[in-house]
């Protein structure tokens, strides 16, 4: 879908049912997520928004493709009623300031139909379809401010981090284009978020977060979502100030009160909120121990979800039994913690000993350890603001040198195999401290190091007159997004072409690829070309064809 079609589709889904309207005096907001394993932020952060003075008309989903939805969590509280007519829902929001409904035939009904169709056509993880599905429901709810929690990693609907960034950008673009002030936060979900996975267990953890005693990751993500919503509402506020205000409603009990009143008014048995120990009463609790000693690198959220699915999310058109609602897992050791073989990492909560052993074995396989790497992943990985600006923790300037050969068979460009990543890249490298501000020195140094040539004797480089190419990429090794600014240079050799080609061919990592190969991201023999090369070549204002050959003789 191009962006105009995405916008039209989103609006059409929203208008397939009633579109709620609110008095001018209401500051309406919502904090949906794209769904994931251990997801509690949409409920926790919504209660925080309500405590911060927003009106929060929230429409949430039931189980998505792989994980339970916010409605499953809330419906695990006995008595909680999730389906309301549009009129009744509107009065609830007027009365309480905060209410949650499941999707009904009256509100964005096309989304439900499209979702069923997406399951059949295997397009559940289509980026534009996710973006239109989420934003259309916010449009139908009539909210002015939306901050989306886009989860990334193996627990998320979009597992790949670069694609999660693309989804976040699409969400922000389409929301903004339709008149909603929209921002997004990308949060880490390679391991389950929080300490509990399971429906009633999630209720108990939401209560902990709202009382200021929840796990670091869910609390941090919820504060970030609420703080960004505050900034969208009053742009002169600093992020620090907004985070402080969001933290205060956890500490002063207002966010908990908003959640409690909502659960009570919507029919939920309030004793599960007041005495969360009721949520932990599974009859069987089994330890899941570390298969190896080391530092926990990740607890594979996808495997945890698969292991729990038969126990917790046992939906076949019926409500779960109380036992299923109490089932789940407690994560006793999180990524970054050191464990010794045999030490408890998780505790399985379940009601049926029959399937418990198989589940325990599957959970054990989810535990990944490293020998020594200290590894505590950040929770908030990036922020995407309404103007499309992406805030990431690392910025790197790099020089890229394009070397071109022209023969009778056409033009080819020099790339080098990066053995660590198994991908071809242009000659390129990061600016080092103290290097020339215009980056020409960096470009020269890279050519000397990578091609074993001598500057001014063998070659020179000239800057290509384009703006630097910006590429934001996720690094698995560093567990963070990095913004690269690539400054482009063209190389000219002074020596004789044939002898230079001979010298370059001695290094088996040097290869000459055509523009078509660089654009496709694959060489003719099936080797990968780095995504940053593909992005550089795709830049509209860079014409490889217009570059002269690099050989002067
Ligand atoms: N949440 C939604 O509402 N729709 C999707 O497609 C994915 C997450």
pTM of the model: 0.92
Query: What is the CA(130)–ligand 1 centre distance, in A?
Result: 5
Convert the pLDDT of each residue in 146-172 to its tens digit. 999 999 999 999 999 999 999 999 999
| Beta-carbon count within 10 A of 449 CB | 11
User: Which among 132, 134, 137, 151 is the best mutation to test ligand 1's pocket, defined by most ligand atoms within 8 Å of the CB?
Assistant: 134
Tell whether ligand 1 has an atom less than 6 A from the beta carbon of residue 130: yes
Q: Atom 5, ligand 1: which residue's CA is nearest?
A: 130
Tell whether ligand 1 has an atom less than 6 A from the beta carbon of residue 135: no
Tell whether ligand 1 has an atom less than 6 A from the beta carbon of residue 61: yes
278 vs 116, 200, 270, 322, CA distance in Å? 35, 9, 11, 11
pLDDT of residue 66: 60
pLDDT of residue 253: 97
Convert the pLDDT of each residue in 483-538 to its tens digit. 999 999 999 999 899 999 999 999 999 999 999 999 999 998 888 999 999 999 99
| Atom from ligand 1 closest to the CA of residue 34 | 8
Contact 267/80 with Cβ under 8 angstroms? Answer: yes
| Atom from ligand 1 closest to the CA of residue 118 | 6
Q: Atom 6, ligand 1: which residue's CA is nearest?
A: 130
Helix (H) or strand (E) holding 47: helix 41-51
User: Which among 157, 168, 189 is the best mutation to test ligand 1's pocket, defined by most ligand atoms within 8 Å of the CB?
Assistant: 157
The 8-class DSSP code of residue 281 comes to -
Q: Indicate the SS3 state at residue 185.
A: strand
Query: What is the CA(129)–ligand 1 centre distance, in A?
Result: 8
Contact 472/482 with Cβ under 8 angstroms? Answer: yes
| Atom from ligand 1 closest to the CA of residue 61 | 3
Query: What is the CA(36)–ligand 1 centre distance, in A?
Result: 11
Tell whether ligand 1 has an atom less than 6 A from the beta carbon of residue 35: yes
| Atom from ligand 1 closest to the CA of residue 115 | 6
Helix (H) or strand (E) holding 510: strand 510-513
- Bridge partners of residue 231, in order along the sequence: none
Q: Atom 8, ligand 1: which residue's CA is nearest?
A: 34
Tell whether ligand 1 has an atom less than 6 A from the beta carbon of residue 42: no
| Atom from ligand 1 closest to the CA of residue 129 | 6
Q: Which of 413, 185, 374, 188 is CA-nearest to residue 294?
A: 374
Strand 29-30 and strand 145-152: the pairing is parallel
Q: Atom 1, ligand 1: which residue's CA is nearest?
A: 34
pLDDT of residue 412: 96
Alpha-carbon span 118 to 64, nearest angstrom:
11
Q: Which of 199, 187, 177, 174 is CA-nearest to residue 70?
A: 199
Strand 427-430 and strand 394-402: the pairing is antiparallel
Within the chain, which residues score under 70 in pLDDT?
A: 64-67, 313-319, 373-374, 436-437, 553
């Amino acid at each position: 879908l191009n962006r105009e079609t995405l916008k039209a589709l989103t609006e059409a889904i929203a208008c397939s049912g009633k579109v709620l309207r609110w008095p001018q005096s209401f500051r309406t907001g919502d904090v949906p997520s794209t769904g994931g394993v251990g997801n509690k932020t949409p409920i926790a952060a919504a209660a925080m928004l309500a405590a911060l003075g927003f009106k929060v008309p929230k429409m949430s989903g039931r189980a998505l493709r792989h994980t339970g939805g916010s409605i499953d969590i809330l419906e695990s509280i006995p008595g909680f009623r999730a389906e309301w007519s549009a009129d009744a829902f509107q009065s609830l929001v007027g009365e309480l300031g905060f209410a949650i409904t499941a999707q009904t035939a009256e509100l964005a009904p096309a989304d439900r139909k499209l979702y069923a169709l997406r399951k059949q056509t295997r397009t559940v993880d289509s980026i534009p379809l996710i973006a239109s599905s989420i934003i259309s429901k916010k449009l139908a709810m009539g909210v002015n401010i939306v901050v989306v929690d886009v989860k990334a990693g193996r627990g998320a609907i979009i597992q790949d981090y670069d694609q999660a960034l693309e989804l976040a950008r699409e969400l922000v673009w389409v929301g903004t284009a339709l008149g909603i002030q929209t921002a997004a936060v990308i949060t880490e979900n390679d391991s389950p978020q929080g300490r509990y996975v399971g429906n009633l267990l999630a209720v108990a953890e939401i209560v902990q977060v709202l009382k200021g005693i929840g796990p670091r990751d869910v609390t941090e993500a919820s504060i970030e979502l609420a703080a960004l919503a505050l900034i969208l509402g009053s742009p002169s506020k600093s992020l620090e100030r907004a985070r402080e205000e969001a933290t205060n409603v956890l500490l002063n009990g207002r966010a908990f009160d908003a959640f409690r009143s909502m659960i009570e008014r919507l029919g939920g048995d309030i004793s599960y909120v007041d005495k969360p120990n009721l949520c932990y009463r599974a009859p069987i609790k089994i330890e899941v121990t570390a298969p190896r000693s080391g530092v926990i690198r990740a607890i594979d959220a996808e495997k945890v979800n698969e292991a729990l699915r038969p126990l917790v999310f046992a939906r076949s058109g019926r409500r779960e039994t109380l036992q299923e609602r109490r089932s789940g897992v407690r994560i006793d050791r999180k990524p970054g913690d050191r464990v010794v073989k045999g030490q408890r990492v998780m505790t399985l909560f379940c009601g049926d000993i029959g399937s418990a052993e198989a589940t325990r074995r599957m959970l054990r396989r989810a535990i990944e350890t490293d020998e020594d790497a200290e590894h505590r992943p950040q929770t908030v990985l990036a922020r995407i603001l309404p103007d499309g600006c992406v805030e990431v923790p690392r910025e790197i300037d790099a020089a890229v040198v394009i070397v071109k050969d022209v023969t009778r068979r056409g033009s080819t460009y020099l790339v080098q195999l990066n053995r660590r990543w198994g991908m071809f890249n242009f000659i390129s490298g990061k600016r080092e401290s103290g290097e020339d501000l215009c980056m020409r020195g960096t470009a020269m140094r890279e050519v000397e190091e990578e091609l074993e040539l001598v500057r001014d004797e063998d070659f020179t480089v000239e800057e290509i007159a384009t703006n630097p190419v910006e590429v934001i990429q996720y690094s698995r090794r560093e567990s963070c997004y990095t913004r690269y600014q690539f400054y482009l240079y063209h190389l000219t050799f002074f020596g004789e072409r044939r002898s230079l080609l001979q010298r370059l061919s001695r290094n088996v990592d040097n290869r000459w690829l055509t523009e078509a190969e660089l654009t496709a991201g694959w060489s003719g023999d099936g080797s990968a070309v780095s995504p940053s090369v593909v992005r550089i070549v795709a830049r509209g204002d860079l014409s490889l064809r217009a570059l002269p050959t690099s050989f002067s003789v």
